[in-house]
Amino acid sequence: LAKRFLGLEKNIWIEFAALAVEHKAVNVGQGFIDYEPPQYLIDFWKATVNDPNILLHQYTRGFGHRRLVEAISNVYSPFFNRKIDPLNEILVTGGAYPSLFNSFHGFLNHGDEAILIEPFFDCYEPMVRSSGAVPRCIALKPTPASIDADISSSSDWVLDKDELESMFNSRTRLIIINTPNNPIGKVFTREELEHIASLCQKHNVICISDEVYEWITYDPTKKHIRIATLPNMWERTVTIGSAGKTFSSTGLKLGWTIGPKHLIRCCQIAHQDCVYTCPTLPQEVIARCFEYELTRLNSPECYFNSIPSEFIGKRDKLVQALKECGMKPVVPDGGYFVLADFSQLAGDQFQSDAEDMKDFKFVRYLTKEKQLATIPVTGFYTAEHRRSVDKYIRFCFAKKDETLDKAIEILRKLK
Ligand code: PMP
Ligand code: GLN
């Protein structure tokens, strides 16, 4: 194995997706939807496959299928308050994963520092490390009042301003933020984003903004804010989106990076000698989906506007069941995951040790013995900060009611 990958062998998705399948567990772990995507997506797939334009079966433009980058530009320009240049300010990739990879590898030099906010989507750390840079991590911390509460909110988890400021130095090349956040569901406030933005400007740092859950927020007073739209931030931000999340179809594996030409150019160079171009047919399908949504962007029927109402009832149902079985849920303001503190329920049975964290042990136990698959939260932290959160596991509620009901049935029997 190449040295740059040493120490990066473990991956929570590889382990826990397989474990769920092996034990035929009710899967409320991995973030994928187990029911139909929007009907129009299926109709556009059929129409695209049957399209007489046989060139749709061949390579398309390397940095993004023309019809798709135009559609992305048309949909996103109003949200970024500017006309996004489809050819120079958008890069289409094989999902948010490669968008992240291209960004880290396109921006980071050996020895640079990248600031990560814990909990972070787990791949950020290995991607930074394999680029030769050094991750510097700062954890969101629950407010003292929320720590022992039977139910708390993702907005109770906050950054210490001074600590954040102390992370920046002359080696800092970038910071990555994820709002709405996976796994905790925090939607960063304008004030929090303004503070991050001011530090980026003061220290001349790039911001990568992972916004794959951009359309999924639940509280009208805590709307998603794009950091790239704050004053002087467009020039130093790349924003990442995912068709898998946007159209509830994670198998699509299609994503995009949006940003100023000089930053997108770095991502293009990392992309061009890796995949060169993404599959044409899915790009054509997603272009048609975006064009369709563009015709109803301001109506409640638009999928981007209706998706939270599809999930909020599921969130509340799961939260209630978690409370009833003796766990302490952290109710998310966005995304489709909920964290739960299981310490009261599990007692002293599971303990962190040199081998393994308590939450990993509990998740393995639930999956193997109770056929309930969830995800351990310490997987979203660096080794130094894991212990402080080893009492939490993550549930995904983007599941059909039948799946949630089965999960709730198992939770009831745990008590
Ligand atoms: N970022 C976050 C925060 C995620 O939760 C995910 C998982 N969907 C990704 C990136 C990767 O998305 P994709 O499946 O489009 O590669
Ligand atoms: N983003 C999804 C999650 O957090 C899936 C990640 C994965 O399977 N690699 O569950």
Per-residue pLDDT for 355 more than 90?
no
Q: 329 in ligand 2 pocket by Cβ < 6 Å?
A: no
Residue 142: cis peptide before it, omega within 30 degrees of 0 = no
Report the C-alpha gap between 185 and 195 in whole angstroms.
Answer: 20
Average pLDDT, rounded, for the chain: 97
Q: How far is the CA of 212 from the centre of ligand 1 (A)?
A: 6
Q: 182 in ligand 1 pocket by Cβ < 6 Å?
A: yes
Half-sphere exposure of 237 (CA within 13 A, CB side): 24
CA distance readout (Å), 194 to 149, 189, 198, 201, 332: 29, 9, 6, 10, 22
Superfamily of domain 3-37+303-414, CATH level 4? Aspartate Aminotransferase, domain 1 (3.90.1150.10)
Q: How far is the CA of 295 from the centre of ligand 2 (A)?
A: 31
Residue 183: cis peptide before it, omega within 30 degrees of 0 = yes
Report the C-alpha gap between 73 and 90 in whole angstroms.
Answer: 8
Q: How far is the CA of 13 from the centre of ligand 2 (A)?
A: 7
Pairing of strands 372-373, 152-153: unpaired
> Over pLDDT 70: what percentage of the chain?
100
Would the pTM count as exceeding 0.95?
yes
Q: 13 in ligand 2 pocket by Cβ < 6 Å?
A: yes
Q: Looking at domain 41-294, does it have CATH number 3.40.640.10? A: yes
What is this model's ipTM? 0.98
Give me the residue spans of the domains in the chain.
Answer: 3-37+303-414, 41-294
Contact 332, 185 (CB under 8 A): yes
Q: What confidence score (pLDDT) does residue 346 get?
A: 92
Q: pLDDT grade, residue 147 (50/70/90)?
A: confident
